[in-house]
Amino acid sequence: MLILSEVLIQNHQLESYADLIRFIQSRARDGEMFFDIDIKPPFPDTPDEWESDLEAKFTSPT
């Protein structure tokens, strides 16, 4: 299971929301099946609809 807070703690190279999206999509393409969105990403470029955006990017990682 991919847990957002753990992703952010373990991957200090993520410097923006765009970096986070690329990481999440990569993990989804690699076969990750579940994603828990437990905190708001701390990046200045995080959009208002970040939860639905992250879910969409994880479920359709094109």
**Cα 11 from Cα 56, distance rounded (Å):** 21
pLDDT band, residue 62 (cuts 50/70/90)? confident
Predicted confidence (pLDDT) per residue in 3-51, tens digit: 999 999 999 999 999 999 999 999 999 999 999 999 999 999 999 999 9
pLDDT reported for residue 56: 96
pLDDT band, residue 61 (cuts 50/70/90)? confident
- 36, 14, 25, 43: CA torsion to nearest 10: 60
pLDDT reported for residue 58: 96
DSSP 47: -
Rg of the chain, C-alpha, whole Å: 10
Task: For the chain, give every domain's residue range.
Answer: 2-59
Which tokens hold the place of 49? 């609809």
Q: In sequence order, which residues have a C-beta less than 8 Å from that of residue 12 and are 6 or more positions away?
A: none
